[in-house]
A = this chain, B = another copy of it.
Amino acid sequence: MTVMLPHTLNRSRDLVEPAMRAAVARLDPASRRVAEYHLGWVDADGRPAAAGGKAVRPALALLSARAAGGPAEVGVPGAVAVELVHNFSLLHDDLMDGDVQRRHRATVWAVWGASTAILVGDAMLALAYQVLADSPGGHAVAASSLLGTATQGLIAGQVEDLAFEQRSSVSVEECVEMAAGKTGALLGCSAAIGAVLAGAAQPAVGALRRYGEELGLAFQLVDDLLGIWGDQAATGKPVGSDLRARKKSLPVAYALESGSPAATELAGWLATPGPDSDDEVRRAAELVEIAGGRGWAKAEAVRRLDAASSALGDADLDPVARDELVALGRFVVSRES
């Protein structure tokens, strides 16, 4: 099922993309071209293309500026910075995870090699802080500090994710903590950085950040569901790819903790190395569902989304922007799984 992109995302893209292009143009020519490919602006030969992501993080950054009573424009450097940090992490994660495809295209390391993926990721990370340093209005330091904390959370999440691969079992609690770092930290920063740049008071910034962090967990739950049951045409990844990779995603961790016969069978299958037939992968997905992992993850995504909306409830925020934040949250979780 195709979900219409909310108006918010399109408006945000119109405002952010020129600033994003100007920022990327500051990179050395070789890194710039690779970054432009990664961002979906050109193909591997440098010809114009249009294959970008949904840019949820920039949209959150602009909404957060408006939620704090500022114009959306004030949030633009924050939007560019979080999108750069997000893409830095994708570049490095794709390499570490050995993923050869993203958004239906070959990943950077698959086209240009590991060193290029490392260096262009590094360049995008440093660029994020340059963009914030250049932001007007006197709140660059606070925004930079917020982004730094989020980046450390993001990295810590990936550290845990890789450590989990070496372990036979991971608790739901550990999985949630990992997702809070890997996905929640930067979404929390995205939802607050515009408010910081607009000079918002701490309670409003804190509320927006909690909203983003909860939204991040909802987002990750949906992503994990799509990693098992998602349609390849929509996700760009092979069906059941997370199961084939023996990934301890949230639905899997929940299923394994259930202690049911399905959990025992699932644990046995996960301990057996692939390659797997399509039937085996289908059976593993079925076991996660029988053990309650699918139902729990769907319900938990809704609970996290509610918690995100609730976080905004008491804060002193612009009501129109608040409503758009709530709507954007619903959109994020509405991706079919």
Contacts and interface: CB of A to CB of B under 8 A. Distances in A.
A61 to B, nearest CB: 18
**How many copies make up the complex?**
2
B155 A123 contact: yes
Contacts of A122: 88, 92, 121-122, 125, 151, 155
Contacts of A125: 122, 125-126
A249 B190 CA distance: 43
A192 interface: no
Given A26-B152, A152-B26, A31 B159 contact: yes
Nearest to A92: B118
Nearest to A129: B129
A114 B119 CA distance: 14
A93 to B, nearest CB: 9
A96 interface: yes
B134 A115 contact: no
Given A114-B96, A115-B162, A122-B125, A130 B155 contact: no
A28 interface: yes
Interface of A: 26-28, 30-31, 88, 92, 95-96, 114-116, 118-119, 121-123, 125-127, 129-130, 132-134, 140-142, 144-145, 147-149, 151-152, 155-156, 158-159, 162-163
Closest 5 CB pairs of A and B: A130-B148, A28-B156, A126-B151, A133-B145, A96-B115
